[in-house]
Amino acid sequence: MKIRLNINDGDYERIHNELIQHGIEPDDSAELVLSKVNGFAEKLVVKDTSTNERVIVSCGDIVYIESYGHMINVTTGNAVYYANERLYKISEQLNKTDFLRISNSVIVSKKHIKKITPTLSMKFILTLSNESRVDVTRSYYHSFKETFKI
């Protein structure tokens, strides 16, 4: 059997050698392709708040995600949805370059942050693209500053 590899340079040699050990021949002209994806979700399955129907939301549309006890709200630019998973599980699915945890109960999309306002008590108040305001708590203050080089 021949397989074409579509893998980054860092993993290419290791995977190439493993395939050979298992009797599989890597070949750039093969029809079958083995590729490695980044492992982050591009979409989340959530529930519509009014109809309770399942909806697929693109992660790029998410402004922020907030937890209220066991209830998780996923807010986009024009709607709020419910998620069934715990906040930490959703956090594991999201790309860390696009999303940032700013408190024990809030994850924000970095691209939807429009304004950062410092406070006197080692906190920041973020104004998001949908005009929502959320707080960066003291526990996340230093990691937030480091992320944005403030």
Q: What is the pLDDT of residue 8?
A: 66
Reply yes or no on whether the pLDDT at 37 is more than 80.
no
Summarize pLDDT for 55-114 with one digit per residue, the tens: 999 999 999 999 998 899 999 998 999 998 899 989 988 998 999 999 999 999 999 999
Cβ-defined contacts of 129-137 (< 8 Å, 24+): 129/63, 129/77, 130/63, 130/75, 130/76, 130/77, 130/78, 132/63, 132/64, 132/75, 134/64, 134/66, 134/102, 134/103, 134/106, 134/108, 135/102, 135/103, 135/106, 136/102, 136/103, 137/102, 137/103, 137/104
Q: What is the pLDDT of residue 39?
A: 63
Summarize pLDDT for 127-144 with one digit per residue, the tens: 999 999 999 999 999 999
Kindly report the pTM of this predicted structure. 0.73
Q: What is the pLDDT of residue 9?
A: 65
Report residue 73 as tokens. 């709200």
Report residue 71 as tokens. 């209830």
